Amino acid sequence: MRDWPYAEVVVDVPTEPGRPRTPTPDAPPPEAFTYAIPSELAADVHVGSAVRVPFGRQRLIGIVVGLAARTDLQRVRAIEAVVDPVPWLTPAGVALARYVSRYYIAPLFACIQPMLPPGVQTAAPRRFRRTDAPPPFDADPAVLALVGAFGRTRMRPEPALRKAAGPRRYAAAVAAALAAGLIVQVDDAPPTSARKPARWARALVDVAAAVDARLAAVRPSPTADALAWLRRPDIVLPSAAELKAATGADARTIAKLVAADLVVVASPAAATDAPVAADAILLQVHGARARAAEHALRRTTAHVEALAYIAAHGGAAPAAAITRETAATAATLNVLAEAGLIALVHADPTTTAAEIAVAETPPPLTDDQAAAWAAIVPLLDGDRGRDRRVGDTGSGDTGAGDTGAGDTGAGDTGAGDADAIIGSVDAAPVALVHGVTGSGKTELYLRAIARLAARGRQTIVLVPEIALTPQMVDRFSARFPGRVGLWHSEMTPAERRAAWHAARAGAVDVVVGSRSAIFSPLPNVGLIVVDEEHADAYKQDRTPRYHARDVGIARAGLEGAAVILGSATPNVTSYWKARRGVWTLIELPRRVVAADPRGAGAENAAAMGELPPVRIVDMRSELRVGNTSVFSRPLLAALQHTLLAGEQAILFLNRRGTATFVQCRDCGHVQTCPRCDAPLTQHVAGLDEARRGRVTARLVCHACGHTEAPPMLCPACASTRIRYVGLGTERLERETQAAFPGVRTLRWDADTTDGRGAHAALLARFSSGQADVLIGTQMITKGLDLPLVTLVGVVSADTALHFPDYRASERAFQLLSQVAGRAGRSAAGGQVILQTYNPDHPAITYAARHDFAGFYTREIAFRAQHGYPPWRPLWRLLWVTEQGDAAALPAATAYAQALRDAALRLGLPYTDVLGPAPAFFHRLRGRYRWQILLSSPEGYTLLAAAPPPGGWRVDVDAVDVL
């Protein structure tokens, strides 16, 4: 007898209704089905293998999660085929899926699903190929119909043949056609057609001075040459004679620069139609505006935009993507290649930017970074590795019992190693790097990756937003060319499949991506980095409701890896663990700033700097003096100064649209979504359409996407006195353009980034100096490195305050601190102006002082007083139903009482059952939402005693209670 004649296979089917799941982390759900392993497949079936199995009348693709020597089942069906000779999951991956299933109380297959190849169909229809054999004259009509379904196509899937032959006669017709040799079953994947190589552009120079000098060589312009000389940082208050001596510029050239507001002549002869005296002093404009003007004079704006796009995509990008997403053409790229700024190469279509980018030399560490690195090295060099991984063997015997699912039995999915799994997930060494914005955390990540890559181990790097991915990939690809993989939701299915297979084959050393990248199939993970670890984007809001940071720590424990968490504003619970010694706490208290980016002589030197000063503006005082504008007087003056200096500014407002709600002035009625308990937001078409008289306003629900026209009359009282209240990014953009005619604005929110590559294109345009003011929502608050930004204006700091959520203050503090960190990241300095009606709120005052320690001390005391995390785990039980409140409330109340009774019966200490209560967003997409909050260290025990009825969703370690 073979050692492992039976396999435990998990397939994508609902859990057996008669066998309810036990919500405990140390008891697996009964979701695996036992199949016999045919002798011809025995060598290819392993833990983690993808196999095709019969399930009732279906053929499904399942994952082997265990092997067994015997079974007590009377009837066991056999595995039909192994889909891929290389297992889709490693044993450690299977163990991780089991842990996620148990900890987050989720179906096991739902936890396996993120680890599977993208686009795989788990319901696996058979495919058949038509042979050249002619059908016999006496063939059954169903066989003839089946053969006729092929037509001119040689390959057909099973559903098409079933439809042709008829469901009742299909099985017999297929059997007869196979026996007669008319068709053959095909198990291999369909062939892919060869594709010709793609043209790529690879950046060769990334210093602004070198870029401008080389463009000047191929696109000369006397006026642009004069401007280039004037904006050099070593040229201060030159005379007209000095300019002429250096560049040959005459009075006419100076007059052009004066007319364009790029130069001011400090003499009575400042008029553009008057001659300029040789001794006249010239006042220059520096920064992004001057550089953009120089490119416009040389007609190289499209060239610079293409270079910025390439940089935003990791130092290399397909030529087709560049010409599609920017103003560049094929001729533009040829000019850049002629100037030696890019190299045009041909590569396979599956090639990534990382495989084409140019390597970078690591910079020296600052004193703070060196001290942090000394603390990280012991965590990386600990004695951990393959020898202590779990899940490498079969699970032992399977249990008895008939599940009724195609005569297969449900057995033990490997509960025997539960203790090993639970013990291993807490074994990973974790370092929390608390570094202020711009303190050089990324350089520590890069050094750690290089140290482990030298030993043949890989790294997963998580970022919370897609917007951060281009810049992060740029940094990593520059250091590890050809060894970086990418993973995020904007990738095409083909790109995702290529990235998955490259990771599984170990062809990359680093995978950079968003939340789901934590499940990348890297074979030998040695490090997991979670950048901006405080971000709520790492928590998934659908089954399985996992937190990527915590799953990363669990995976590191299972695979013998280390974890580095980084943030300028760590999650309060994370910082609490680090302060208590559970994790290693590493501090980077000072910012690393680059040299002044203005002018052609900027270098890449770095020095230590201070965080930008933050000024709190009380908007109540502005109203008292009659200022009803969206801009306070200090912010208006700061914006004017920034624009005159040719620098860039960011305006942050965490609200989309033009007006946040629509209200009747007579009766007070607010226009709400018919499917949600949410006010509709007014959106107006873009400024270009408005100027052409084609303004199209609409009301949009940001919860479900419902859209309707603005009302002419109040639907409640028929009044015409309709008022549009509030402020969004659309209106803020219009107000900015009205206050500063000619200002170049970019808006970065969900309405402007719905297309593929939109984030990278916006970042490229702004970082290349094609806009003066960036207006955006929370997308612009995290991680972006924009050295030309010297002013950040928070238009309303109050949008994140006063929510009925214990983490409201923490979220507000993090948001304000992060957006403030976008200013002053170079030697040019910067400032932050924060407008608020709550100037004394702790989240605002601590953020203005960049005082995380002070905020943490206050917040942790508040949570200890009320038993909030980290002192006690918080569970959210959410019931979503289409029934009205009249039916939902009694049922929710009954379950809440059942939980209280069970807690009292079991004598569970420190346990509170809060609710039921309507969720903050009570009606969403036509369904009513009721919730119960469970604050208890014994949540699993309580839910085992009072299991949730059907329809309840369980969110373990909830981060959102709205």
Q: What span, in angstroms and rounded, lies between the C-alpha atoms of 724 and 679?
A: 12
Mean pLDDT throughout 130-150? 82
Mean pLDDT, rounded, for 385-412? 38
Is the bond into 544 cis (omega within 30 degrees of 0)? yes
Asked whether the predicted pLDDT for residue 406 surpasses 50, the reply is no
The predicted structure's pLDDT at residue 247? 77
pTM here is 0.74
Q: What pLDDT score was predicted for residue 146?
A: 82
- What is the C-alpha separation between 93 and 98, in angstroms, rounded? 9
Contacts 24+ apart (CB under 8 A), 863-869: 863/572, 863/806, 866/806, 867/910, 867/912, 867/935, 868/806, 868/935, 869/573, 869/957
Grade residue 190 by pLDDT with cuts at 50, 70 and 90: very low
pLDDT of 272 reads: 45
Amino acid at 293: A
Tokens of 935: 């604050």
Tell me the percentage of the chain whose pLDDT exceeds 70. Answer: 81
Are the C-beta atoms of 812 and 799 separated by less than 8 Å?
A: no
pLDDT of residue 556 exceeding 90, the answer is yes
Query: What pLDDT does residue 410 have?
Result: 34
Question: pLDDT tens across 917-930, in order?
Answer: 888 888 887 788 88
**How far apart, in whole angstroms, are the C-alpha atoms of residue 165 and residue 648?**
68
The answer to whether residues 910 and 936 touch, using CB atoms and an 8 Å cutoff, is: yes
One DSSP character per residue, 826-856 reads BTT--EEEEEES-TT-HHHHHHHTT-HHHHH
pLDDT at 214: 74
pLDDT tens string 561-603 = 999 999 989 999 999 999 999 999 999 888 876 655 444 434 4
Assign 3-state DSSP to the chain and report helix, strand, coil percentages, each to 5. Answer: 35, 20, 45
The closest alpha carbon to 912, from 932, 895, 929, 931, belongs to 932
CA dist 377 → 320, 455, 531, 559, 563 (Å): 43, 14, 18, 18, 12
For residue range 498-513, what is the model confidence (pLDDT) as tens digits? Answer: 888 888 888 888 998 8
Q: What is the mean pLDDT of residues 16-36?
A: 55
Alpha helices in 339-440 (DSSP H): 367-380, 418-425
pLDDT digits (tens, 9 = 90+) for 93-107: 999 999 999 899 888
Q: How confident is the model at residue 467 (pLDDT cuts 50, 70, 90)?
A: low
Residue 487's nearest CA partner among 513, 468, 462, 466 is 513
Handedness of CA 550, 555, 557, 562 (dihedral sign): negative
Question: What is the per-residue pLDDT across 335-364, written as a single tens digit (0 to 9) for each?
Answer: 888 777 887 766 544 455 545 555 567 788
Q: At 879, is the pLDDT very low, low, confident or very high (cuts 50, 70, 90)? A: confident
Q: Are 557 and 424 in contact (CB under 8 A)?
A: yes
Q: Look over the chain and give the mean of its residue pLDDT values, rounded to a whole number.
A: 79
Tokens of 581: 């010694």
For the segment 688-709, the average pLDDT, to the nearest whole number, is: 69
Per-residue pLDDT, averaged over 551-555, amounts to 94
How many Å apart are CA 246 and CA 223, to the nearest integer? 13
Task: Write out the E strands in 357-464.
Answer: 402-405, 408-411, 430-435, 458-462
End-to-end CA distance of the chain: give it in Å, rounded. Answer: 57
Q: How confident is the model at residue 950 (pLDDT cuts 50, 70, 90)?
A: confident
Given a contact cutoff of 8 angstroms between Cβ atoms, the answer to whether 886 and 920 are in contact is no
Residue 877, pLDDT score: 92
Handedness of CA 742, 746, 750, 754 (dihedral sign): positive
Per-residue pLDDT reduced to its tens digit, 734-777: 889 889 988 888 888 877 777 666 777 787 788 777 888 999 88
90: exposed, middle or buried (C-beta count within 10 Å: 0-12, 13-18, 19+)? buried
Band of pLDDT at residue 386, cut at 50, 70 and 90: very low
Which tops the pLDDT comparison, 840 or 387?
Answer: 840
- In the predicted structure, residue 283 carries a pLDDT above the cut 70: no
> Token pair for residue 514?
């968003």
Q: What is the pLDDT of residue 676?
A: 83
pLDDT at 274: 54
pLDDT at residue 854, rounded to an integer: 93
pLDDT at 572: 93
Q: pLDDT band for position 518 (50/70/90)?
A: very high
State whether the Cα torsion 854-859-864-868 is positive or negative: negative
pLDDT of residue 635: 92
- 233 pLDDT band (50/70/90 cuts)? low
pLDDT tier at 314 (50, 70, 90 boundaries)?
Answer: low
Give the model's pLDDT for residue 533: 93
Task: Please tell me which residue, 797 or 405, carries the higher pLDDT value.
Answer: 797
Query: 670 forms bridges with which residues in the sheet?
Result: 663
pLDDT in tens, 422-451: 556 667 899 999 988 888 888 999 999 988
